[in-house]
């Protein structure tokens, strides 16, 4: 959606069609943003080469035909894929239709769809300099404009007022993502009173399906604000001095872009991509990294509290995060789309 918005800023008359499946969030999000949505059947892909991989071509055949019909009907000049169920058939359909392909990989460890898509394209963008996709360009991740243009220092007074936080106190933002994370929730609820005793206030998004913690407001103590969900992440980032969070690719990209240091707790399942996502920002000095099993109240007291109570260290980490961050990935990706179209029209597209 950030790329679609950027394309419309460059050319309000451009036609944009999103491909999706009926099981995805796109069935709600795409129409809400005013873009055309076309649905194709979902074909789950194995994350790694396995014997199941040999069954993929047969299962993909009908989906590729459906995607190709859409590509030809809307007269697409380019297909841009971000991986996942929809990307693989879209890449194969675009190749059959002779339409140029642009690939964007958000994670440090690319998925199967983008590995294959990258073979058919000279225009491959990645979100991290540590990406394993060859011949790719590091541009970052296209971000929402409210995040990409955020000035945390300028917005901080408004943000802290919005959440009912003290304007002067160091602030820890905690979120395990849109659904929350039990390990983060349990740890921060256990340690919150100690953090308050040290003069730290907490803004905690527990997840919409999780129970809000019982909070005893003690006069004179720093606030502990627990909410089900944060619908204004721009204000949450502006209010905070440090974030405790998972390490999804989008989260890492947003924090780096706005210069908010973080303590990353990678999700302990999957193929380890969240740890890889966080490592470049941590290496740059903009964050801390801890395994899920090692996140305990004692660890927070020993590692997070000293950062929150040291203004110079917070400033240094914020600067390091901002220097690693990319705010212009949407415009850079728009440029790649036009490059791919121009190259195809000039007969230089890869066969």
Please check if 312 is assigned to a binding site: no
Per-residue confidence (pLDDT) for residue 36, from 0 to 100: 95
Please check if 107 is assigned to a binding site: yes
pLDDT in tens, 158-207: 999 999 999 999 999 999 876 658 899 999 999 999 999 999 999 999 98
Checking if the pLDDT of 341 tops 80, the result is: yes
Please check if 274 is assigned to a binding site: yes
Checking if the pLDDT of 58 tops 80, the result is: no
Written in H, E and C, the secondary structure of 55-76 is HHHHHHHHHHHHHHHHHHHCCC
pLDDT in tens, 289-315: 999 999 999 999 999 999 999 999 999
pLDDT in tens, 256-268: 999 999 999 999 8
- Across 211-231, average pLDDT: 82
Which domains, from first to last, does the chain contain?
Answer: 1-143+328-349 (3.40.50.2000), 146-324 (3.40.50.2000)
Please check if 131 is assigned to a binding site: no
Per-residue confidence (pLDDT) for residue 349, from 0 to 100: 42
Per-residue confidence (pLDDT) for residue 178, from 0 to 100: 64
């Amino acid at each position: 959606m950030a790329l679609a918005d950027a394309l419309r800023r460059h050319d309000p008359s451009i036609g944009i069609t999103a491909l999706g499946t009926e099981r995805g969030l796109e069935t709600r999000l795409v129409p809400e943003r005013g873009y055309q949505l076309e649905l194709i059947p979902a074909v789950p892909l194995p994350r790694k080469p396995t014997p199941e991989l040999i069954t993929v071509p047969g299962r993909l055949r009908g989906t590729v035909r459906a995607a190709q019909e859409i590509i030809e009907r809307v007269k697409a000049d380019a297909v841009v894929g971000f991986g996942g169920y929809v990307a693989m058939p879209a890449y194969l359909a675009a190749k059959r239709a002779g339409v140029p392909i642009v690939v964007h990989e958000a994670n440090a460890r690319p998925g199967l769809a983008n590995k294959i898509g990258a073979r058919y394209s000279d225009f491959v963008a990645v979100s991290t300099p540590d990406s394993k996709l060859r011949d790719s360009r590091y541009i970052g991740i296209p971000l929402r404009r409210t995040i990409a243009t955020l000035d945390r220092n300028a917005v901080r007074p408004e943000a802290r007022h919005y959440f009912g936080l003290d304007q002067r106190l160091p602030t820890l933002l905690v979120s395990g993502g849109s659904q929350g994370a039990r390990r983060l929730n349990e740890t921060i609820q256990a340690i919150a009173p100690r953090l308050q005793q040290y003069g730290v206030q907490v803004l905690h998004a527990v997840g919409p399906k999780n129970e809000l913690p019982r909070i005893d407001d003690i006069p004179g103590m720093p606030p502990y604000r627990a909410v089900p969900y944060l619908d204004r992440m721009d204000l949450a980032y502006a209010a905070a001095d440090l974030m405790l969070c998972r390490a999804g690719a989008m989260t890492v990209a947003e924090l780096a872009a706005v210069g908010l240091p973080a303590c990353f707790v990678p999700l302990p399942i999957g193929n380890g991509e969240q740890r890889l996502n966080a490592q470049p920002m941590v290496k740059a000095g903009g964050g801390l990294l801890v395994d899920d099993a090692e996140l305990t109240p004692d660890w927070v007291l020993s590692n997070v509290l000293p950062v929150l109570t040291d203004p110079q260290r917070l400033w240094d980490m914020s600067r390091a995060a901002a220097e690693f961050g990319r705010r212009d990935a949407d415009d850079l990706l728009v440029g790649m789309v036009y490059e791919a179209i121009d190259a195809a029209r000039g007969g230089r597209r890869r066969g």
